[in-house]
Structure 1
Amino acid sequence: MRIRIKKSRRLIRMRSGACEKTIMSDPIILYNGPIYTLDPAHPRAQAVAIRNGRVIAVGSEGKVRAAVTGRAEGINLNGRALIPALTDAHVHLIAHALARRNVRLDDAATLDDALQQIGVAAERLPAGAWVQGRGWDHSRWGRWPTAADLDAVIGDRPAYFSRKDGHSAWVSSAALRLAGITAETPDPVGGAIQRERGEPTGILLETAIDLVRRHIPEPGQEERLAAVREAIEEAHSYGMVGMHLPTSMTPGDGRMTLDDLQTLRERGHLQLRCLVYLGLDGLDAALALGLHSGLGDRWIRLGGIKMFADGSLGSQTADMLAPYEGSSNRGIAVLSSGELRHAVRRAIHGGLAVMVHAIGDAANRKVLDAIEAALPGAPPLSIPNRIEHCQVVHPDDLPRFARLGVIASMQPIHCTADMEVADVLWGKRCAYAYAWRSFLDAGATLAFGSDAPVESLNPWLSVHAAVTRQRPEGTPDGGWYSEQRLTVEEALRGFCYGCAVAAGAAAEQGVIAPGMLADFAILSADPFKLDPSALHTIRAEMTILEGKVVWEQERL
């Protein structure tokens, strides 16, 4: 039988909708372009056919047409590359969405640059309003900023600026007064108030951040929902259709995120697959309700419990086995070893997978120890346990990830963003920092993400970083510890198949094969043919979610 290919997108166009049901339709064949399936058994194809949101055939154009009976719609790729749609394994969605509307200091090369941006933003605000933003990096400025620096440009306004890693905050004198922070205020457990001659400087570390943050007026839900919808559209523009959503250190963040996602879905505006994690502050309630990892569906699904083992590199609060270079500081353990083991055991034995933030080598070892101690006698989990960031892991601990079934959830863009400060603070330990090649060689599963808003949501920046170990301008020459570079396919699998494994969804997501969900990204350039130095320039020209177009690049 000859198949009639009609050039149309009518049946898969979606402008809104909660993706609740897939409308019955004729098959659709996408053809005339390289299709990279990321399936090791059949890595390349010429065409793919889909129906009712799933792949029904993939292979040569002749084979695919022969597998389709009756009439079929057609999308001509016109030589453009098609890959599985991407997922980001680590996004603080609400924070990222709102940060897009606040002062962004990521590009502030000097303290004066930052203060100029902040002063301009403050002038636009009504009297008494908080000045807020994020993205500053004191390692570029030569010193930590202070409350006095802020006061000089905003006067007596309250101000709060999160460092790029989210583990330090820079606040004004008015903010310190509102929070009642004085020389007599003790450091909270798991945090620190930076001081000079006993007086607070305006820098708060780890749990001390919440001393001020709790006084900032919360945006209303409608403001959050509008911002999230804009952020989802941004994700689609990169070819991304899924996110794993860990809580931040803000109490109640997991509950708020879950509430907002449900509201978006009820209104028909959730065009995103969301794996949601509750915070440690929600563990008791989750256990009392009998919630298990995997509860939900493809659109909103419970991942488990997120907790923090340490801080960050840039704030020098990552928990290290040996002191930072040139100091006696080993960082901050947000939870003691006993508290960590107790929390991990309670979660896993209650049917809840754990997602644990661990950056330093000591923190990673403690988390692996806690998971290993919790596994005997625990029920099977539908979603694997995971460690977030894994930025520096002692070589002795690398094989434990595969042996314990722990996902290494990493953000390649952190490597190239932090390499200078890593050299200064970790020295020779950088040889096993951001060690993606070593993780794969040890049999671990990598799930890649961005940590937005800490870094850009754009996954192609991370694909570039993973393949080149360089910044977009080509530094350093040859790549930073280039032996840890990945191939393009390995980097993409981190954003596709690795994320599917981490979500317990590898049976229907992450590769292009018969029976899998029809989630595709049609790209502006072929990542397998493009010079690796240009990988960061790629964008999606069309993004398809379960057979429906959710993004298409407008043509002039």
Structure 2
Amino acid sequence: MDGHGTDQPVCPAREVVHEVGDAVLLRGVRVGSEGAVADVRLADGRIAAIEEPGAGAEGAEVFEGGTLLPGLVDGHAHLLQWAQFRRRIDLSGAASADAAAQLMTAGPPDGELLLGAGFTDGLWPDSPHKSTLDVVVGDQPAVLLSRDLHTLWCNSPALRLLGRDHPSGVFVEDECMRITAELPRPALMVTDKWVLEATEAAATRGVTAISDYEFTDTVADWTRRLEIRPPGTRVRCVLARYLLEQAIERGHRTGMPIAELLTVGPYKLFVDGSLNTRTAFCLERYPGTESTGELVTPPDELEPLVHRAVTAGITPALHAIGDAATRIALDAFERCGSGGRIEHAQLVAEADLARFARLGVTASVQPGHCPDDRDVAERYWAGRTAHAYPYAALHRAGARLEFSSDAPVAPLDPWDAIASAVTRTDDERPPWHPEQCLPLPVALAAAAGGRTAIREGDPADLVLTSVDPAELDPRGLREIPIRATFLAGVPSYRAEG
């Protein structure tokens, strides 16, 4: 498997107790990649001391050896969809609509809704259509979600179940997201446990914080989940567009604590669609068409919303994939006199690179998408791929880079993002536009939410790897063993043995 599969292990439910005060001693650890060896003491949620090797344990829990790094952050994930995706039929290997339909027969033939996820139809020789599913699946309702989350494909029984009539059964962009939110799912207690398990699985890969971009009231969802048990990571509750006024009425501001491990996240707005659906809004037309993509939120709607959020202390996070959409997003920030976040920035005009740093706009990027999308990009952004996924160019221009997975679009594993950013490939092919490869230290910082060092007094959100990442090849980076993850100085994960 190339690191982008979906067969992630489902962690058994466990109680995570987050208490400060119990000391931990990390004995003889390398402090940072290629750093010096020292003893590191954690207490009261912080890095209490970095000492010469040989410190006494003095009753502390001891971890021996390894490389200590800042805790990793997934700055953009859809946690409910990721939790469900881990239990859906995997369509990532389907090379055609017919092949995807055939994979759906792997589901239980019991009349319940069949759910598949992960298809990419941009290179298919045929198009998804309800009739294709009807022939293969029969009377059982079936719903298939694309890897980029922008296309939903239903058969006729599923359309009837959802109370909709549609000529093709294929929904994109806003319709896709609305229907996805309406899909039948198990009881809340069940899905809440699935989501908590997903955060615990993330902790096994060194993740200490996740921004949840689910298109729901994430504040209410996560407050409810705390009644079951704390998550395995910190969670930033991202605000959906339709909840802005409610969030302002609640007095929510980005970064504000809600409860233990929960804070208010940014405010998500869509400027355009996606590459795979050819709805990313671009400066040039898609080959063989008159279309430049879809502008989901035009400037006259976007800018008042950005201004409203900023004046309320809420950071806007603007989904922009095409170069025209990215420019519109930057224009909105400039006219509102604010910084913020651009989510994805997959195609950026050269003239716009320096604007990220000048305006204080974070480039929230998903390096795992780069090798996944290279073939689709070569077809639909032909002649422009030198400006696609331009991580090194953004870094050279001074932009703040933060990594994420956009799970379930890519697995919620930051090492996949790190390896993809450093190598620009995930198979036997040479790097795609190697001039855009990032140095490992830059990638590690971007995967840690911008945190670059381990210092006394800093929060003890940390990951202890078995080996120094600098010693590993790309495959080794993707599979790096994690010895322990610490959340406020308390182990949220520890390897067995």
Q: Same fold (TM over 0.5)?
A: yes
Secondary structure at 2:107 match in 1: helix
Alignment correspondent of 1:551: 493
For 1:144-163, what aligned pairs fall within 5 Å after superposition? 144-163=127-146
Alignment correspondent of 1:293: 254
Alignment correspondent of 1:205: 172
Alignment correspondent of 1:186: none
Distance 2:180 2:421 in 1: 34
Q: Is the 8 A contact 1:37 1:45 kept in 2?
A: no
Amino acid at match of 1:261: W
Q: Is the 8 A contact 2:96 2:126 kept in 1?
A: no
Distance 1:28 1:345 in 2: 45
* Backbone CA RMSD of aligned residues: 2.3
Q: Is the 8 A contact 1:247 1:306 kept in 2?
A: no
| Corresponding residue to 1:58 among 24, 27, 50 | 50
Deviation at 1:313, TM superposition (A): 0.3
* Superposed CA offset, 1:472-527 (max 9, x none): x332x2x10001111111111111142x6xxxxxxxxx631111111222224321
| Corresponding residue to 2:151 among 120, 143, 168 | 168
Q: Is it true that 1:278 corresponds to 2:261 in the alignment?
A: no
Q: Is it true that 1:304 corresponds to 2:266 in the alignment?
A: yes
| Corresponding residue to 1:487 among 439, 444, 465 | 439
Q: Is it true that 1:355 corresponds to 2:297 in the alignment?
A: no
Deviation at 1:239, TM superposition (A): 1.1
Alignment correspondent of 1:16: 15
Distance 1:220 1:277 in 2: 23
| Corresponding residue to 1:412 among 367, 371, 376 | 367
Deviation at 1:276, TM superposition (A): 1.2
Which ranges in structure 2 are unaligned for 5 or more consecutive residues?
1-12
Larger radius of gyration: 1
| Corresponding residue to 1:528 among 470, 473, 477 | 470
Amino acid at match of 1:52: D
Amino acid at match of 2:492: V
Secondary structure at 2:257 match in 1: coil
| C-alpha spacing 1:418/1:176, structure 2 compared with 1 (3 Å) | same
Which ranges in structure 1 are unaligned for 5 or more consecutive residues?
1-13, 184-199, 377-383, 501-509
Q: Is it true that 1:105 corresponds to 2:105 in the alignment?
A: no
For 1:373-392, what aligned pairs fall within 5 Å after superposition? 373-375=335-337, 385-392=340-347
Distance 1:169 1:222 in 2: 25
Amino acid at match of 1:135: G
| Corresponding residue to 2:428 among 450, 455, 474 | 474
Secondary structure at 1:538 match in 2: coil
Distance 1:160 1:132 in 2: 5
* Superposed CA offset, 1:133-183 (max 9, x none): 210111353222211111112212322111100011111122334556557
Secondary structure at 1:31 match in 2: strand
Distance 1:182 1:238 in 2: 43
Secondary structure at 1:95 match in 2: helix
* Superposed CA offset, 1:287-311 (max 9, x none): 2333222221661111231111110
* Superposed CA offset, 1:305-364 (max 9, x none): 111111000010001111113322111111122111111111112221101111001111
Secondary structure at 2:375 match in 1: helix
Q: Is the 8 A contact 2:270 2:296 kept in 1?
A: yes
For 1:63-78, what aligned pairs fall within 5 Å after superposition? 65=55, 71=58, 73=60, 75-78=62-65
Distance 2:248 2:493 in 1: 39
Secondary structure at 2:491 match in 1: strand
Deviation at 1:441, TM superposition (A): 0.8
Deviation at 1:245, TM superposition (A): 1.4
Secondary structure at 2:60 match in 1: strand
Q: Is it true that 1:226 corresponds to 2:193 in the alignment?
A: yes
Identity %: 34
* Superposed CA offset, 1:196-252 (max 9, x none): xxxx2222111122564465324321011110122112101111121011234xxxx
Alignment correspondent of 2:448: 496
Q: Is the 8 A contact 1:29 1:72 kept in 2?
A: no
TM-score, normalised with respect to structure 2: 0.91
Secondary structure at 2:62 match in 1: strand
For 1:24-103, what aligned pairs fall within 5 Å after superposition? 24-25=21-22, 27-36=23-32, 43-58=35-50, 60-61=52-53, 65=55, 71=58, 73=60, 75-78=62-65, 80-103=66-89
Q: Is the 8 A contact 1:179 1:211 kept in 2?
A: no
Amino acid at match of 1:528: A
Q: Is the 8 A contact 1:18 1:267 kept in 2?
A: no
| C-alpha spacing 1:417/1:227, structure 2 compared with 1 (3 Å) | same
Distance 1:295 1:111 in 2: 45
Q: Is the 8 A contact 2:200 2:233 kept in 1?
A: no
Q: Is it true that 1:118 corresponds to 2:104 in the alignment?
A: yes
Q: Is the 8 A contact 1:132 1:161 kept in 2?
A: yes
| C-alpha spacing 1:76/1:99, structure 2 compared with 1 (3 Å) | closer
Alignment correspondent of 1:5: none
| Corresponding residue to 1:400 among 355, 364, 375 | 355
* Superposed CA offset, 1:259-289 (max 9, x none): 2321232343323111111111001212233
Alignment correspondent of 1:454: 409
| C-alpha spacing 1:289/1:85, structure 2 compared with 1 (3 Å) | closer
Aligned residues: 484
